[in-house]
Chains A and B, each alone.
Chain A
Amino acid sequence: MERIPILKMGDFLLVTIQVDMHDRLVMTLQDDLMEKISTCNSAGVLIDISALEIVDSFIGRMIANIAAMSRVLDAKTVVTGMQPAVAITLVELGLSLDGVMTALNVERGVKLLEKITRSESQYLDGTSAQELVDDNDHKS
Chain B
Amino acid sequence: MITITRADTRPIQNQGDIVLVRKVVRDWALELQFSIVDQTKIITAASELARNAFEYGKGGTMKMEALLNGIRKGLRLTFEDQGPGIENMELALTDGYTTGGGLGMGLTGARRLVNEFDIKSTPGQGTTVTITKWK
Contacts and interface: CB of A to CB of B under 8 A. Distances in A.
B65 interface: no
B15 interface: yes
Contacts of A57: 48, 102-103, 105-106, 109
Interface of B: 15-16, 18-19, 22-23, 26, 36-37, 39-41, 43-44, 47-48, 51, 95, 102-103, 105-106, 108-110, 112-113
A60 B15 CA distance: 17
A56 B102 CA distance: 12
Interface of A: 20-24, 53-58, 60-61, 83, 85-86, 88-89, 92-95
B15 A22 contact: yes
- Binding site of B, secondary structure by majority: helix, strand, loop or mixed? helix
B40 A88 contact: yes
- Binding site of A, secondary structure by majority: helix, strand, loop or mixed? helix
A61 B16 CA distance: 19
A28 to B, nearest CB: 12
